[in-house]
Structure 1
């Protein structure tokens, strides 16, 4: 039976109160269709049932972890240390305070703060009260935050008191006074801070009746109930709210840990933002699953991260290629004891050649993993495992996670043979429950029950996938398809090049040709002629950019993704 996307058919358990718009439901798991592949990785030996079956919800996990790991450290945030018991206690206290403030099951609560212990407690408190968490990007300006607060119909905003000299609440009030006026705000402590007047008041607000109600709500949560609305970054239009579930989140990251290998007593340095699944679900939530300690990092600084790895005996670390390149290139690295660091997860569909080798040699890593996912699939899709060789880690995104199926299809929707490029479709348990209050966009995201990723991929004979580009970014030069990501990866290997973005531009002779925007490394220079000469020596002629611009920076959105439409408009 093929999977189908869910349509609204009445409120689901834990759904928002009547009158709130949106789509609720669970997308049924896809079964094998055509050449769909799902590599049969075994479940962990100790887990006869998957995490969603054992814990049912994220708050259920927290309570179970408190029983399992007790006084062991769960969060290390500067001067703030929380054990697993502390975290469960503070979750219930905050949830009781929110219930006392009138929070109802299904109410949306926005959270606008950097990585910190209080972010974790706030998120868990919202979910234990039956609310749906709506994380906000800390790079947002006031108008951007207001759009999501309004779009999600958030009933409350939990916001950091002050971060890097920015008062987020004041910024919201200035940009969108009506939104600020109708949205109650509770200030929460910043990174490394355990206290604040409004925070302390909220934690103390609940009484016996509210604690009893919290216990009732947590016991009533099930795997199919919504946990979050995480808004996409909106590179091609307005952000859309992706509705995610408790159970799929737990199951997905228990599977992910087959590659990451986090366990009791490990120390997990998380510099990836909590407002993304990579910092939240593959970050602190995974630590709770594994019995490890989360070390939140609000602002990444390579020198400080190296010091933290040495001082706190960090064992695991996720990050982008830029984060690990920063560690490798920092002058303090040779003098730091990094012997505790064993595993790194690199978040990129493509990264520079030899990076894996450099990370093993320069950081002493035993395992470097990578993977692929998108928010609409609970950010799970494929990943590599410790037994995969370096060339697989450096050149692919691994094979499908347990319970995830893949198809690669051509423009006609039919499966293409291995080795041929096509759009990657995902099936399985991890489909989103839809876009919040947007049934048309939800329907467009699926094809016969398979989630359309919009990414072009190639699968080899062993089932490993390579992401070649975004479907919408491909341009055709004289009849030849050109994948900008391939050109970008090649040009990024030039020693003076820090970052590069390639887009197609109209051409009267060839239809389209490539244009490259190049950011030089600090202290180095490069000319357009040098870039073109390098490209001609490194790739087929039709792939060589016909125009090169040297720029100080690339336009990016609040999530750091390059805004290629802005580059196309600049060319026009």
Structure 2
């Protein structure tokens, strides 16, 4: 765990590995004389201070965390999606994440590109997060309650290049809303969308349970499992060694209740250690199947997914 304090343009990063240590730090930091002592003894040339606790930070990207889980737990059940009738082991998650990552690379997505994820609580949301991390992409959580105008705002705010969305859910017709925001979708070939309304946006991928349905301008999510070849898989494997801990892995939008949503950037190390710290404190490792909240929200995509 860590407590970040910004002072005069500098961040003081305090390690708070246990609850007692964390409370003690909070008392100290509320004491003006203690902060004055920091000011006297700390060179302002330092960017940040790191006071480690007994539990060290994990030096893992999300992709390496997936690999580590595979090595440690193998055929142990990693995820159950009851409403979809899906059960996956840690080994299956690793394999599928790499296959889907290779599929994303084959569509022309490159390290650092923004991949939007607009959907509900489904297995493909989970596997997309792991695949995006392995492909070096920045996953952008898009609120499933958004309408066309809000989607368009998000596409442009962070420069989303590709979007994965559900076909529909209850009264939300996601494909139609994409087409409403970007009319050029219906007259474009998959992966070749050109729109002045969203210049960065090129690729739409739709998860549909109806494999026979034709959706103009869009790939099907199932296509990702067949799109990549050995050359794309090689790129994914090389990225696994080259990706840095401090690279952005995820962008989550604020609620936007007091203005337009702002995108918060989360690094690989940030996400992995947040999950490890909260998961450990909540004793998720003591339960076979903790129930996962909505993937869109931080508790789902950061804590439970990892």
Q: TM-score, normalised by structure 2?
A: 0.74
Matched, 1:184 2:203: yes
**Residue pair 2:271, 2:302 contacting (<8 A) in 1 also:** yes
Q: CA deviation at 1:61?
A: 0.4
CA distance in 2, matches of 1:5, 1:88: 43
SS in 2 for 1:268: coil
Matches within 5 A, 1:304-343: none
Where in structure 2 are the equivalents of 1:413-452 lying within 5 Å?
A: none
CA contact (8 A) 1:43 1:255 kept: no
Equivalent pair of 1:157/1:184 in contact (CA under 8 Å): yes
Deviations along 1:120-165, one digit per CA (max 9) or x if unpaired, are 1111111111110001111111111110011111110001122225
Runs of 4+ in 1 over 2 A off after TM superposition: 1-6, 27-35, 40-44, 175-183, 193-197
- 1:70 pairs with 2:53: no
Residue 87 (structure 1) aligned with residue 100 (structure 2): no
Cα distance in 2 for partners of 1:170, 1:200 equals 19
Q: Which residue of 2 aligns with 1:168?
A: 174
Shift of 1:268: 1.3
- The root-mean-square deviation of aligned C-alpha atoms, in Å, is 3.0
Report how far residue 284 of structure 1 moved.
Answer: 1.6
Deviations 1:346-390 (A, max 9, x none): xxxxxxxxxxxxxxxxxxxxxxxxxxxxxxxxxxxxxxxxxxxxx
- Per-residue CA deviations over 1:212-239 (Å, capped at 9, x if unaligned) read 1101112112221111111111111111
Cα pair distance change 1:2/1:253, threshold 3 Å: closer
In the alignment, which residue of structure 1 is the partner of 2:63?
59
Q: CA deviation at 1:36?
A: 1.3
Is the CA contact (8 Å cut-off) linking 2:208 and 2:220 kept in structure 1? Answer: no
The aligned residue for residue 284 of structure 1 is 305
1: CA distance, partners of 2:224 / 2:8: 39
Check the 8 A contact 2:151/2:181 in 1, yes or no: no
TM-superposed deviation, 1:274: 1.1
User: In the aligned structure 2, how far is the partner of 1:266 from the partner of 1:144?
Assistant: 38
8 Å CA contact 1:2, 1:33 repeated in 2? no
Q: Is the 8 A contact 1:143 1:176 kept in 2?
A: no
Which one of the candidate residues 17, 35, 44 is aligned to 2:28?
35
Which residue in the other structure is 2:102 paired with?
96
Are residue 218 (structure 1) and residue 240 (structure 2) matched? yes
The offset of 1:28, in angstroms, is: 4.7
* Cα deviation, residue 240, structure 1: 0.7
C-alpha contact (below 8 Å) 2:168/2:175 kept by paired residues? no
Q: Which runs of 5+ in 2 are unaligned?
A: 15-24, 31-50, 184-194, 214-218
1:118–1:194 contact (8 Å) kept in structure 2: no
**Other-structure match for 2:186:** none
The DSSP-based 3-state class of the residue aligned with 2:269 is helix
1:172 and 1:180 in contact (8 A); partners too = no
Q: What secondary structure sits across from 1:163 in the alignment?
A: coil
Q: What displacement does 1:84 show?
A: 0.6
Q: CA deviation at 1:269?
A: 1.0
Distance apart, 1:41 and its partner CA: 11
Deviation of 1:172 after TM superposition, in Å, equals 2.3
| Aligned mates of 1:195, 1:74 — CA distance in 2 | 30
Q: Distance in 2 between matches of 1:247 and 1:119?
A: 21
Runs of 5+ unmatched residues, structure 1: 7-26, 286-572
> Structure 1 residues 143, 128: CA separation in 2 closer, same or farther (over 3 Å shift)?
same
Q: How far 1:187 moved relative to its partner?
A: 1.1
CA distance in 2, matches of 1:189, 1:99: 21
Alpha carbons 1:80, 1:194 under 8 Å: kept: no
Size of the aligned set, in residue pairs, is 253
Q: Secondary structure at the match of 1:174?
A: helix
CA contact (8 A) 1:97 1:210 kept: yes
**Cα shift readout 1:502-559 (whole Å, capped 9, x = no counterpart):** xxxxxxxxxxxxxxxxxxxxxxxxxxxxxxxxxxxxxxxxxxxxxxxxxxxxxxxxxx
